[in-house]
């Protein structure tokens, strides 16, 4: 505050003195001009008056006596000059000894009929003179002489110096008085201003030091009596700064809240988001991106220049405080993090074109191949700038979508393939019968049996497809369930397969407590167990055994179906529950399988919130299980 007061006082004093000096110079110049004008006017009036009483210039002796008499009692010098430049009379010198005055400027102008004035050093008196020259005319208006009146300049200056000294003295006293008044007034202005400056210095200059520095009441004002005694303008300024401080505090809190909101949104986004600078160095990575590329930012310092919002061409204000999930501008480039030249190429293309770019790429992460749809958009690009500030990448995992598309294509191809063979057989034997085979009873019966068998196969296939479609609808809707006795449901499935098992001489074994009650869709559970038993009966050797075992553990119910068939190779187990997948395609078709039975079992388990699985040992048999919530 003392520094502010001293600087203000020095400035005011310097300004006062400068203004006084300028005023003095202007006043002196103005007085000199006024003085010169007054003297010129006085010389002109005196010259006109004396010229009116001047004798006829034709008699030079009379004219000389008149000039001496007129100039004896006055400070003026009188000179009369003929048109040829010869001096006719002079009140201060002998005309006979004076040089020709025909070349004097004022004389030349006066002889031409114009009143003239001049200031120069007199060659006769050897001092500076101020001249006024008038034309002298006769009665006919002809110029017969030039009348000149002059005054010594030193005499004029002496009178002017007195006025200048008085003026300078008055101005100096006024300057001292003005400085004292300014000093008094400045103390009442600078002191509250200094206090306001000290309070303003306590305000935060950035978001990093905002927290905790601004009190709720605004500025911290010391010695408030200075504000009470200050001018209205100072009080208004104080109130305005106090209001601004409170508003700044609210804005800081709002910015922090918005920053946390943006951080939470980005951290909650399932897509991986990466922000890169113009050199493709990492600046931002959300949680999904860190998990995808398996790196951590915990040890890095936040960078306040990182991108927020925009994404693609930035436009919104940056947060006051850099969030913790921003990385320090470093040399961790995209290729180092992602290990993908495809992704780097997409980012570079977006930087070069400054337009949003989409591409599908494949990344190999954690031992598996994953497909991603990448959206790349440059940000911070402006007219006149060579390139944008950086690029934002959004990676959407479409691995599941691609897998579903593959399953759909395979499904269509498999359905077409499964229906093509029986349809061709039915069509071929029908044409054979039409062409005359009906006349041969043996062939006709045999062909009709083939047609019936293939028609039944197509019927089973269509029934299984309808079952799958219905189960998929149940996945999207609500499944109707009610408490059922699990043993009774399994007994119903066993009863449905008893005839097929007896044909092969298989023994059916059931081990299930009678007290397991579970909320399920009974018909679907019966169908699932039947499908597992049907597979076990088909692939079990004659005189073998198929067992069904069920138990309840805590909140889970597990149903197992075991056979002693040839078993399943380990490489085939992961795809066993896919639609139309068969380990031995020719054998399964011969036995009437559609390739959809295990897929139906899986869907039934899923609509009940459960899972399925298989364990198999080649040459020893297989164990299929269903596990659902009790």
Confidence of residue 548 (pLDDT cuts 50, 70, 90): very high
Backbone angles phi, psi at 555, to 5 degrees: -100, 15
Which residues in 401-516 belong to E strands, given as ranges? 482-485, 507-511
> What is the mean predicted confidence (pLDDT) over 519-546?
87
- Return the minimum-mean-pLDDT range out of 6-10, 288-292, 619-623: 6-10
Of the ranges 134-143, 146-155, 587-596, which is most confident? 134-143
> What is the mean predicted confidence (pLDDT) over 4-9?
54
Predicted confidence (pLDDT) at residue 408 exceeds the cutoff of 90? no
Q: Are 95 and 89 in contact (CB under 8 A)?
A: yes
> What is the mean predicted confidence (pLDDT) over 325-352?
76
Topology at the third CATH level for domain 482-629: Heat Shock Protein 90 (3.30.565)
Predicted confidence (pLDDT) at residue 628 exceeds the cutoff of 70? yes
Predicted confidence (pLDDT) at residue 561 exceeds the cutoff of 90? yes
Q: Kindly state the percentage of the chain with pLDDT values over 90.
A: 8
Domain coordinates in residue numbering, the chain? 207-254, 270-397, 404-476, 482-629
What one-character-per-residue DSSP string does 138-186 give? -TTS-EEEEEEEEEEHHHHHHHHHHHHHHHHHHHHHHHHHHHHHHHHHH
Q: What is the pLDDT of residue 6?
A: 55
> What is the mean predicted confidence (pLDDT) over 261-277?
85
Q: What is the pLDDT of residue 307?
A: 40
Predicted confidence (pLDDT) at residue 405 exceeds the cutoff of 60? yes
- Take residue 214 and report the two structure tokens written for it: 């601004």
Q: What is the pLDDT of residue 323?
A: 41
What count of other Cβ atoms lies within 10 Å of the Cβ of residue 579? 20
Q: What is the pLDDT of residue 91?
A: 84
Q: What is the pLDDT of residue 611?
A: 92
Predicted confidence (pLDDT) at residue 560 exceeds the cutoff of 90? yes
**Measured distance CA(513)–CA(486) in Å, rounded:** 8
Q: What is the pLDDT of residue 279?
A: 87
Nearest by Cα to 398 from 370, 377, 368, 369: 370
Predicted confidence (pLDDT) at residue 125 exceeds the cutoff of 60? yes
> Three-class SS of residue 360?
strand
Confidence of residue 331 (pLDDT cuts 50, 70, 90): low
> What is the mean predicted confidence (pLDDT) over 585-612?
72
Predicted confidence (pLDDT) at residue 624 exceeds the cutoff of 90? yes
Q: What is the pLDDT of residues 195-219, one digit of tens each?
A: 666 666 666 554 444 444 444 445 5
> What is the mean predicted confidence (pLDDT) over 60-76?
82
Predicted confidence (pLDDT) at residue 601 exceeds the cutoff of 80? yes
Predicted confidence (pLDDT) at residue 13 exceeds the cutoff of 90? no
> What is the mean predicted confidence (pLDDT) over 19-46?
72
**Measured distance CA(313)–CA(293) in Å, rounded:** 25
Q: What is the pLDDT of residue 62?
A: 83
**Measured distance CA(354)–CA(376) in Å, rounded:** 10
Q: Are 575 and 410 in contact (CB under 8 A)?
A: no
Q: What is the pLDDT of residue 63?
A: 85
Torsion angle, alpha carbons of 83, 87, 88, 94, to 10: 180
Q: What is the pLDDT of residue 411?
A: 66
Predicted confidence (pLDDT) at residue 175 exceeds the cutoff of 90? no
Predicted confidence (pLDDT) at residue 315 exceeds the cutoff of 60? no
Torsion angle, alpha carbons of 163, 168, 174, 178, to 10: 150
> What is the mean predicted confidence (pLDDT) over 11-38?
69
> Three-class SS of residue 590?
helix
The residue ranking higher by pLDDT, 331 or 602, is 602
Domain with residues 270-397, CATH architecture: 2-Layer Sandwich (3.30)
Supply the mean pLDDT for the chain: 76
> What is the mean predicted confidence (pLDDT) over 375-401?
83
**Measured distance CA(421)–CA(426) in Å, rounded:** 9
* DSSP H helical ranges for 269-356: 287-293, 334-338, 341-353
Nearest by Cα to 122 from 160, 148, 146, 143: 148
What one-character-per-residue DSSP string does 388-404 give? -SEEEEEEEE-HHHHHH
Q: What is the pLDDT of residue 204?
A: 58
CATH (residue range 404-476): 1.10.287.130
């Amino acid at each position: 505050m003392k520094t502010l007061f001293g600087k203000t006082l020095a400035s005011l004093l310097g300004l006062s003195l400068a203004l006084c000096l300028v005023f003095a110079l202007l006043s002196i110049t103005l007085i000199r001009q006024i003085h010169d004008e007054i003297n010129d006017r006085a010389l002109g009036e005196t010259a006109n008056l004396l010229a009116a009483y001047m004798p006829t210039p034709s008699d030079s002796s009379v004219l000389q006596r008149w000039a001496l008499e007129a100039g004896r009692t006055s400070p003026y010098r009188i000179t009369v000059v003929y048109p040829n430049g010869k001096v006719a009379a002079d009140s201060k010198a002998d005309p006979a000894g004076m040089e020709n005055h025909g070349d004097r400027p004022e004389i030349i102008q006066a002889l031409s009929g114009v009143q003239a004035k001049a200031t120069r050093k007199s060659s006769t008196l050897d001092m500076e003179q101020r001249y006024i020259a008038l034309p002298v005319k006769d009665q006919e208006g002809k110029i017969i002489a030039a009348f000149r009146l002059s005054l010594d300049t030193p005499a004029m200056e002496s009178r002017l110096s007195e006025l200048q000294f008085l003026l300078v003295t008055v101005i100096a006293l006024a300057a001292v008085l003005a400085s004292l008044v300014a000093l008094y007034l400045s103390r009442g202005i600078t002191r509250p201003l200094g206090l306001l400056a000290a309070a303003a210095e306590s305000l935060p200059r950035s978001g990093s030091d905002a927290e905790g520095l601004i009190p709720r009441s605004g500025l911290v004002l010391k010695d408030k009596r200075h504000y009470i005694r200050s001018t209205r303008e100072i009080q208004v300024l104080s109130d305005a700064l106090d209001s601004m401080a409170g508003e700044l505090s609210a804005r800081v809190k709002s910015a922090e809240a918005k920053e946390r909101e943006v951080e939470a949104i980005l951290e909650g986004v399932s897509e991986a988001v990466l922000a890169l600078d113009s050199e493709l160095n990492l600046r931002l990575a959300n949680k999904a991106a860190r998990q995808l590329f398996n790196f951590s930012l915990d040890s890095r310092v936040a960078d306040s220049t990182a991108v927020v919002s925009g994404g693609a061409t930035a436009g919104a204000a940056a947060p006051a405080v850099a969030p913790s999930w921003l990385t320090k501008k470093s040399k961790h480039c995209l290729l180092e993090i992602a290990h993908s030249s495809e992704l780097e190429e997409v980012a570079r293309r977006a930087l070069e074109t400054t337009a949003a770019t989409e591409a599908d790429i494949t990344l190999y992460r954690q031992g598996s191949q994953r497909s991603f749809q990448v959206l790349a958009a440059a940000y911070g690009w402006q007219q006149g700038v060579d390139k944008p500030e950086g690029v934002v990448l959004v990676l959407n995992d479409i691995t599941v979508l691609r897998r579903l598309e593959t399953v759909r294509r395979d499904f269509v191809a498999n359905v077409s393939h499964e229906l093509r063979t029986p349809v061709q057989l039915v069509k071929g034997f029908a044409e054979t019968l039409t062409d005359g085979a009906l006349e041969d009873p043996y062939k006709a019966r045999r062909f009709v049996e083939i047609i019936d068998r293939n028609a039944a196969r197509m019927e089973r296939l269509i029934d299984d497809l309808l079952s799958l479609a219905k189960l998929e609808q149940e996945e999207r809707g609500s499944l109707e369930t009610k408490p059922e006795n699990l043993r009774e449901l399994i007994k119903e499935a066993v009863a449905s397969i008893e005839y097929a098992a007896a044909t092969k001489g298989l023994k059916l074994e059931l081990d299930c407590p009678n007290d397991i009650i579970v909320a399920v869709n009974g018909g679907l559970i019966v169908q699932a167990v039947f499908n597992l038993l049907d597979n076990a009966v088909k692939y079990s050797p004659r005189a073998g055994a198929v067992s069904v075992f069920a138990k309840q553990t805590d909140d889970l119910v597990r149903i197992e179906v075991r056979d002693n068939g040839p078993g399943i190779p380990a490489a085939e187990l992961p795809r066993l529950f896919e639609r139309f997948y068969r380990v031995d395609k020719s054998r399964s078709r011969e036995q009437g399988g559609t390739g959809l039975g295990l897929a139906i079992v899986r869907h039934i388990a899923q609509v009940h919130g459960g899972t399925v699985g298989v364990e198999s040992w080649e040459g020893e048999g297989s164990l299929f299980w269903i596990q659902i919530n009790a």
